[in-house]
Structure 1
Amino acid sequence: MHKEQPALRILGDRVRHYRKLKGMSQAELAKGICTQATISLIEKRNKVPSMNILVRLVERLGVAMADIVVENRDKTQVVLAKVEQLVRHSDFTQAEQALNGISIDKLTGGDDKKRYYYFKGMIELFAQHAPDEAIYYFGRVLNPLVTRERDLLAIMATLGLGLAYAEKKAQDRARVYIDQALGLLKGMPLKEAKYLDVELTIYWHTARIYYELGDYQDVLKHVGDGIDVAVTHDSLFLLDELYALRAFALQALGDQQAASAYEIAKALARVNQSQALYEQLEKASATA
């Protein structure tokens, strides 16, 4: 007899991502809910525990059920989740290949279409170096204008417009969208782990924009805000990149603290296994 597959599929890699973001071991996540072996099966084999266990794990991680669970037969959701992780880690070439497997015509939900357009915008900007195309796709995320207070895609797409205009050297327009993205972010409660990821990403991208514009004091301000948030929440996410930008800005300003910032950034790059960043820092620090 054919055994019917479970209706839900848990994304074990995302459970691991959010657990580490919280600074928790498998045993700490499991305590009072299930066994450590259950957490291991979830993360390594995408094994769905009982719904009771699943609900309690979601509450402890501080994420939404949809962040770690998809319908087993919904391959589109699996691909979108994969693309999201690739974009977050700046692997835009692989993200583009994965996203090409999705047809926009087959996306029925409004949120799924917004996710698709946001990913397309990031890919056009960083993989294809086509800011005009990126502006089009980021605009689709915001059309119709999203007014929900905590719409993450609205914030990220707004920042994406700032990145695209910075690439076009349209400084005034870039600043408008940077300020708007930061305004949308202001006061957002970090009750869920995904908001911390987004906040740190925004600080990182914002600092990158100001670095390209040559506004090194603004780079230091936004990098400092991002580092403070990461340290407060015991997160290593993008911390190496933030310290790297601090080092670059200090060096551009001729500040002697650049050497110290480079050493911290290199140490964090080793911890995060960011080999490409480490090599970039080694080369840059030689002249600091």
Structure 2
Amino acid sequence: MDYTLGDRIRDLREHLNMSQRELCRDICTQGLISRIETNTATPTAPVLHQIAVRLGVDLNYFFDDISRDGLNYVKEVMNTIDKYIRDQEYEQVMEIVELEKDNPLFNKKHLQQYLLWREGICVYYLHNDADHALELLDNAFNMGKSEKKFSEVEIDILASKAIIYSLIKKLDDAANIYRKIIRDVTSLRVVQNKRLVIRVLYNASRNAYDRHEYGEALDYINKALNTCIKEQQLYLLGHILFQKGSTLFRYDPAEKETCIKLLEEALWVYELDPVPAFITALKEEMTLIRQS
């Protein structure tokens, strides 16, 4: 099957997490964009030029046969980096980032922003250099900030800053970032990536826990758990149950049995994909609560 103009526009728009409404703003109607993407309408040259500018590509992108392979390569690289980040394999991430910085396929601003964000995370964990890491994250954030509301990548960059602030014990600075994200992005309801919502709420709960604000921590972790249930997500579910059990016990020790049950549920989730460090920490927490 031919890879049509409409296919290319749709795939790139979705890759950028851009809605049809965002793409068509001040260019044409959303209905026309929909028809173009389904190949039932052909854009005029001026409209196609404006679409290309909005998507951050040259007009040749829509007609060059290598563009499809290029987009697939970029997606594969980003998926690999994301996996290494989840697995805390920061040396591998840094190697890929350094390799791809000068790759023409990554010369678009949003892709340079992505690489700089990932570099900032690696700088902290590999070199324990919080100042440089935060500087890189600020630079990455400022590359994309143009609208009143945050993009999903900008939310993720801010969340990365908050995590580093928490790790260097600047807990109040981290808390302010979490509150800003959750408040200014309409409680994250508009975010398409629900894993991002869950991750932000989970880390906000951990931050509140570290500040001994257990009521606030419970509020965040309950919202994270409700999002998991509503969106049918297992993502971070074990951590969330662990966090809720630990927090609830500090908030109300009389709920000891409920806390143990939550930790047992967390253990069941952990054992689906065992990570020894997580299981050890969880069992230690269960022993502590049982003996209290």
TM-score, normalising length from structure 2? 0.67
| Aligned amino acid, residue 69 of structure 2 | N
8 Å contact 1:185–1:199 — kept in the other structure?
no
The Cα offsets for residues 203-261 of structure 1, whole Å up to 9 and x where unpaired, read as 12222222333323222111110000010111101111111111232344444132112
Q: Does 1:260 align with 2:257?
A: no
Asked if structure 1 preserves the Cα contact closer than 8 Å seen for 2:152 and 2:191, the reply is: no
The 3 A distance-change label for structure 1 pair 249 and 50 is farther
Q: Any gaps of 5 or more consecutive residues in structure 1?
A: 1-48
Larger relative contact order (C-alpha < 8 A, sep ≥ 6)? 1
Q: CA separation of 1:92/1:231 partners in 2, compared to 1, >3 Å: closer, same or farther?
A: farther
Q: Matches of 1:178 and 1:187 in 2, distance apart?
A: 11
Equivalent positions of 1:146-225 (< 5 A) are 146-148=145-147, 149=149, 151-189=151-189, 192=192, 195-225=193-223
2:84–2:92 contact (8 Å) kept in structure 1: yes
| Contact 2:202/2:240 (<8 A) preserved | yes
8 Å CA contact 1:236–1:272 kept in 2: the answer is no
Give me the whole-angstrom Cα distance separating, in 2, the residues matched to 1:91 and 1:79: 15
Cα offset, 1:199, TM superposition: 0.7
Structure exhibiting the larger radius of gyration computed from Cα positions:
2
Q: How does 1:99-118 map to 2 (within 5 A)?
A: 99-103=97-101, 107-118=106-117
Letter in 2 for 1:72: D
Relative to 1, partners in 2 of residues 1:105 and 1:51: Cα closer, same or farther, differing over 3 Å? closer
* Identity of matched residues, %: 10
Output the CA distance in 2 between the equivalents of 1:91 and 1:251.
Answer: 33
* Inter-CA distance 250–93: structure 2 relative to 1 (3 Å threshold): farther
Give the equivalent residue in structure 2 for 1:247.
245
Answering whether residue 147 of structure 2 is matched by residue 121 of structure 1, we say no
- 1:85-119 Cα distance to aligned partner (Å, 9 max, x none): 33245444543343343335854211011111211
| Correspondence list, 1:1-288, <5 A | 64-65=14-15, 71-73=68-70, 75=73, 77-103=75-101, 107-144=106-143, 146-148=145-147, 149=149, 151-189=151-189, 192=192, 195-253=193-251, 254=253, 255-256=255-256, 257-288=258-289
Q: Distance in 2 between matches of 1:121 and 1:211?
A: 25
RMSD after superposition: 3.2
Aligned partners of 2:228 and 2:234 also within 8 Å:
yes
What is the CA–CA distance in structure 2 between the aligned matches of 1:169 and 1:191, rounded to whole Å? 29
- For 1:114-157, what per-residue CA distance to the aligned partner results, in whole angstroms no more than 9, with x for missing partners? 11121122223344433222211110122256143351111111
SS of residue matched to 1:174 = helix
Distance 1:165 1:141, change over 3 A: same
In structure 2, do the counterparts of structure 1 residues 94 and 209 end up closer, same or farther at CA, with 3 Å as the change threshold?
farther
Instruction: Give, as a single letter, the amino acid of the residue that structure 1 aligns with 2:140.
Output: V
- Amino acid in the other structure paired with 1:174: A
| CA distance, structure 1, for counterparts of residue 241 and residue 124 of structure 2 | 24
- Give the distance between the partners of 1:116 and 1:235, measured in 2 at CA: 27
Cα displacement (A) at 1:270: 1.7
**TM-score (norm: length of structure 1):** 0.67
Per-residue Cα deviation, 1:182-205 (whole angstroms, up to 9, x for no partner): 12432545674xx11111111122
The unaligned stretches of length 5 or more in structure 2 are 18-66
Secondary structure of residue in 2 paired with 1:169: coil
Give the Cα–Cα distance (whole angstroms) in 2 for the partners of residues 144 and 97 of structure 1.
22
1:176 counterpart letter in structure 2: N
Query: Per the alignment, do residues 174 and 189 of structure 1 end up closer, same or farther by CA in structure 2, a change over 3 Å counting?
Result: closer
Q: Distance in 2 between matches of 1:147 and 1:97?
A: 30
1:287 aligned counterpart, secondary structure? helix
